[in-house]
Amino acid sequence: MTDRNPVGATILGYPRIGPDRELKRAVESYWAGTSTAADLEETARTLRVNTWDELKAAGLDSIPSNTFSYYDQVLDTAALVGALPPRHTELGLSPLDTYFAAARGTQQAPALEMTKWFDTNYHYLVPELGPDTGFALAGSKPIDEYVEARKLGLETRPVLLGPVTFLLLAKAHADAPEDFQPLSLLERLLPVYEELLAALHSAGAEWVQLDEPAFVADRSAAELAALDQAYTRLGGRPDRPSILVASYFGSLGEALGTLARVPVEGLALDLVTDPTAGDAAAAQTALRDKEVVAGVVDGRNIWRTDVDTAMTKAATLLGSVGRLGVSTSCSLLHVPYDVDRETAMPERLRSWLAFARQKVAEVVLLGRALRHGQDAASVVDELARARAAVADRGSASDLREPRVRARLDSLRPEHAQRGDYAKRAGEQQSSLGLPALPTTTIGSFPQTDELRRARAQHRAGQLDTEQYHAAMRSEIERVIRLQEDIGLDVLVHGEPERNDMVQYFAEQLRGFAATEHGWVQSYGSRCVRPPVLFGDVSRPEPMTVEWATFAQSLTDRPVKGMLTGPVTILAWSFVRDDQPLADTARQVALAIRDEVHDLESAGIRAIQVDEPALRELLPLRQSAHKEYLSWSVESFRLATSGISDSTQIHTHLCYSEFGEILPGIAALDADVTSIEAARSRMEVLSDLNAAGFARGVGPGVYDIHSPRVPDVDEISNLLRTAVAAVPAERVWVNPDCGLKTRGYAEVEPALRNLVSAARQVRAEQR
């Protein structure tokens, strides 16, 4: 196996949703039946071609392909290796519709489970495998996209999810024996990868990138042996492209030795997340005849790269590895397209930032500087500009607010503690007077086109603030009346005024800046615009009190105040990197604490502080868990303490496997925790019990990611499972998550069924 060109300056992946979310619009229009598959394919093709053109013009040495996806790259892989569940493949649909059925579910066939992609805010679909799963090459997407680019005169490097990470991300399907491990299918899967590599080779591909990010987390000896086995076998084939194994989101630890030894030609390392990763690689003698691609430009944050630090990190590998390439630390999927479009942002702040397009330019610059020297005419001016921007940010004095700092310094442990739970529970029951198995929702009701349009018109000045507020009040009233009619016990105002549960708060907090075009894919066609947390955080004035008190004024039933917690605000923002995350978390916590206090003073008796990202920020390595859980739990408690025992604090968690943070969830000390559970069949309840959790819990009884309406029996059966695991007086009844992505046609019957099921099971408890 000989490789023809070095990888050189490259990136591990690029955004695919389109600079103006063209893919989102095309996919949603196809789903709605207002455009054809051919229209969708044409939009997709244009997006791919535009991306390749841009990357070529930027001067990368190696351009990735197969980074496009209609929905998700893990789902693409499951489809490619013929591993979609029979419940989707047997629907008799076209390949594209079968793919979307697995992603979104149908009334007959629930979707695949969706969960967090490592510690990011991207979500992938979890393949379901069992001992009966057979693999076969069932498509040609990577080959087609490689050929598509080649016809345009571009040699690209197809990117594939590696076979071992694919299996490690999969779960056992419902009928698999309890001890079934998807990794046991490796021998069956490898021939499909061999066939794929051979097909790419005969299509002309020189390099292929196989992503194995699962190995930046702690892995067992058996898993490391599987990695060895996979790449010894794939690397041993003569009819294949050169293989670049890519790792990202951390350092490889023990897997580094394995990947250095196996017969592949290149290894991509993240030198941003763990700055010592370069030294570890330099010590591997087996890397002396491989290309190491140094990920020195942060692929997940938006600050301009410190070029001197980046060059120093890359230089640690010079002389120790066969050839040196330079890259982003991970795919640029996690950052927006282009900071130059952010013309409404203060110019000085903008000059400190780099989005995907600017990061590609940084990689090209660093590649040239490493190749030709820092004084070369082709780089000297650009390096100077990069250094000046980083120095300017470092010297900006207005990022620190003395009042915020003084308040943090005055904090004592008692500021993060509430009274005894039994006393709190008694006072809350007197205040709220709820039945057993109380019903509630997670906060948002459908964000209709009308609401979004009203917000867009308000932004554009076509609707003044009073008119916009009147529209929101009328929506709140409608949602309150609907909930009363359905018979829910604890109501919500429905969050119509929120563009997003983080951005909405960031727009009102000091220390944050919003973007206009900074969309990042969160899952499928759904996107978010993470705000930029650049300076000390404080809350100039109440953010939600007006809406919550208006909603409460309409009804005698309790209305929950609805806030986003400090950890989630951090997780879903681009956060300053000039101080420890724990310090930033405390600042955000104090701002939320002020809001909790104001909601309570305004007569709101239950306040939910959502922390869906608590699991997301958990470090991938166990050794860092304790410290993370300590500051994250403390920041939640800081935000939710200092209030009366009779005020009921709720929290909400979703999108995750909670196993490793169960003790942390118990330590939050929330009175009620609503938690995603429908797709994983309530298993979380026994896990919570085992972790010593003994507070109110609302295991989600239906999956809101699917348009499917659950029937009463389905929900009541889940509730029976719940009350078997947890005393009925602690069980709450709610969906898995907020309803903002759904339509009323599904939400209303689903909630009516939820209330009927709760009443049924409530009656059985007497």
Ligand X SMILES: N[C@@H](CCS)C(=O)O
Cα diameter, the chain? 83
Output the smallest distance, CB 551 to ligand LYWDKB7T, in A.
19
Q: Pairing mode, if any, of strands 526-528 and 560-564?
A: unpaired
Least spacing, CB of residue 441 vs ligand X, in Å? 7
User: Using the rule CB under 5 A, which residue among 332, 354, 737, 747 binds Zn ion?
Assistant: 737
Q: Which of 333, 369, 737, 761 is close enough to bind ligand X by CB under 6 A?
A: 737
The residue from 159, 527, 588, 590 that contacts ligand LYWDKB7T (CB under 6 A) is 527
Of 546 and 577, which CB lies nearer to ligand X in the complex structure? 546
User: What are the φ/ψ torsions at residue 674 (nearest 5 degrees)?
Assistant: -95, 135
Residue 657: CB minimum distance to ligand LYWDKB7T, A: 15
With CB under 5 to 8 Å by kind, the binding choice for 741 among ligand X, ligand LYWDKB7T, Zn ion, none is ligand LYWDKB7T
User: Does residue 495 have a known ligand-binding role?
Assistant: yes
Residue of 759, 682, 571 lying closest to 122 (CA atoms): 571
Q: Which residues of 50-88 are buried (b: 16+ CB within 10 A; e: fewer)?
A: ebbebbeebebbbbbbbbbbbbbbbbbbbbbbebbbebb
Residue nearest to ligand X (CB): 738
Q: How far is the CB of 654 from ligand LYWDKB7T (least distance, A)?
A: 7
Binding residues for ligand X, total number by CB under 6 A: 12
The C-alpha atoms of residue 130 and residue 172 are separated, in whole angstroms, by 6
Say if residue 652 carries a ligand binding annotation.
yes
**Cα 363 from Cα 378, distance rounded (Å):** 14
In angstroms, what is the minimal distance from the CB of 230 to ligand LYWDKB7T? 31
CA distances from 390 to 11, 116, 301, 327, 373 (A): 22, 32, 14, 19, 20
Note whether 560 binds ligand X by CB under 6 A: no
The answer to whether the beta carbons of residues 198 and 150 sit under 8 Å apart is no
**CA 614 to CA 654: how far, in whole Å?**
9
Check residue 562 for interaction with ligand X (CB under 6 A). Answer: yes
756 DSSP 8-state letter = H
Q: Which is nearer to ligand LYWDKB7T, 141 or 526 (CB)?
A: 526
Q: Which of 387, 526, 557, 720 binds ligand LYWDKB7T (CB under 6 A)?
A: 526
Nearer to ligand X, 513 or 562 (CB): 562
Residue 738 found at the interface with ligand X (CB under 6 A): yes
Query: How far is it, in rounded angstroms, from Cα 295 to Cα 328?
Result: 5
DSSP character string of 597-638: HHHHHTT--EEEEE-TTTTTTS-SSGGGHHHHHHHHHHHHHH
Say whether 250 counts as a known binding-site residue: no
The closest of 344, 515, 441, 532 to 739, measured between CA atoms, is 441
User: Does 705 qualify as catalytic in the annotation?
Assistant: yes
What's the min distance (Å) between Cβ of 737 and Zn ion? 3
Distance of closest approach, residue 19 Cβ to ligand LYWDKB7T, in angstroms: 12
Our finding on whether 741 is near ligand LYWDKB7T (CB under 6 A) is yes
Three-state secondary-structure class, residue 752 = helix
The answer to whether residues 255 and 214 touch, using CB atoms and an 8 Å cutoff, is no
* CB of residue 710 to Zn ion, shortest distance in Å: 17
**Window 21 to 60, contacts with ligand X (CB under 6 A):** none
DSSP state of 9: B
Give the nearer residue to ligand LYWDKB7T in terms of CB position, either 114 or 383.
114
Q: Which two tokens stand for residue 7?
A: 């990888």
Nearer to Zn ion, 8 or 612 (CB): 612
Among ligand LYWDKB7T, ligand X, Zn ion, none, what binds residue 250 when CB lies within 5 to 8 Å by partner kind? none
Tokens 């392909």 belong to which residue? 65
> What is the rounded CA–CA span in Å between residue 274 and residue 580?
15
User: Residue 352 interacts with ligand LYWDKB7T (CB under 6 A)?
Assistant: no
Which of the listed partners (Zn ion, ligand LYWDKB7T, ligand X, none) does 720 bind, with a CB threshold of 5 to 8 Å by partner kind? none
- DSSP symbols for 484-500: HHHT-SBB--B-TT-S-
**Site membership for ligand LYWDKB7T, residue 655 (CB under 6 A):** yes
Q: Count other C-beta atoms under 10 Å from residue 377's C-beta.
A: 7
Of 543-582, which residues contact ligand LYWDKB7T (CB under 6 A)? 572
Is 595 marked as a binding-site residue? no
Smaller CB separation from ligand LYWDKB7T, 18 or 612: 612
> Which option in ligand LYWDKB7T, ligand X, Zn ion, none does residue 532 bind, with CB closer than 5 to 8 A by kind?
none
Is 15 near Zn ion (CB under 5 A)? no
Which class for 431: exposed (0-12), middle (13-18), buried (19 or more C-beta within 10 A)? middle
Closest by CA to 205, choosing from 134, 157, 136, 167, is 157
Nearest distance from C-beta of residue 120 to ligand LYWDKB7T, angstroms? 10
- Residue in 42, 117, 19 with CA at minimum distance from that of residue 73: 117
The pair of three-digit structure tokens given for residue 511, joined into one six-digit string: 């220390």
Give whichever of 336 and 738 is closer to Zn ion, judged by the CB atom: 738
Number of neighbouring beta carbons within 10 Å of residue 187: 11
Alpha helices in 22-176 (DSSP H): 22-31, 37-58, 73-80, 86-89, 95-104, 141-151, 163-169
270, 495, 500, 536: residue in contact with ligand LYWDKB7T (rule CB under 6 A): 500
Q: What is the DSSP secondary structure assignment for residue 398, as one 8-state letter? A: G
| Footprint on residues 493-512 left by ligand X (CB under 6 A) | 501
Cβ distance 635 to 585 under 8 Å? yes
* Measured CA distances, 71 to 477, 498, 616, 684 (Å): 36, 25, 20, 27
Whole-number minimum distance, CB 552 to ligand LYWDKB7T, in Å? 24
Note whether 707 and 742 are within 8 A (CB). yes
455 binds ligand LYWDKB7T (CB under 6 A): yes
161 is in an annotated binding site: no
- Residue 501 touching ligand LYWDKB7T (CB under 6 A): yes
By the rule CB under 5 A, 612 interacts with Zn ion: yes
Does the annotation list 529 as a binding residue?
A: no
Nearer to ligand X, 443 or 530 (CB): 443
Q: Tell me how far the alpha carbon of residue 540 is from its chain's centroid.
A: 29
Q: List binders of ligand X among 395-454 (CB under 6 A).
A: 442-444
**453 scored as a contact of ligand LYWDKB7T (CB under 6 A):** yes
d(CA 103, CA 31): 12
- 652 scored as a contact of ligand X (CB under 6 A): yes
Torsions phi, psi of 57, nearest 5?
-60, -30
326 touches ligand X by CB under 6 A? no
Q: Which residues bind Zn ion (CB under 5 A)?
A: 612, 654, 737
Q: Binding site: which residues?
A: 21-24, 116, 442-444, 495, 526-527, 572, 610, 616, 652, 654, 676, 737
Q: Binding site for 5-methyltetrahydropteroyltri-L-glutamate: which residues?
A: 21-24, 116, 526-527, 572, 616
Q: Which residues bind ligand X (CB under 6 A)?
A: 442-444, 501, 562, 610, 612, 652, 654, 737-738, 740
Q: Which residues bind ligand LYWDKB7T (CB under 6 A)?
A: 24, 121, 447, 449, 452-453, 455-456, 499-502, 522-523, 526-529, 572, 612, 655, 740-741
Q: Binding site for L-methionine: which residues?
A: 442-444, 495, 610
Q: Binding site for Zn(2+): which residues?
A: 652, 654, 676, 737
Q: Which residues are catalytic?
A: 705
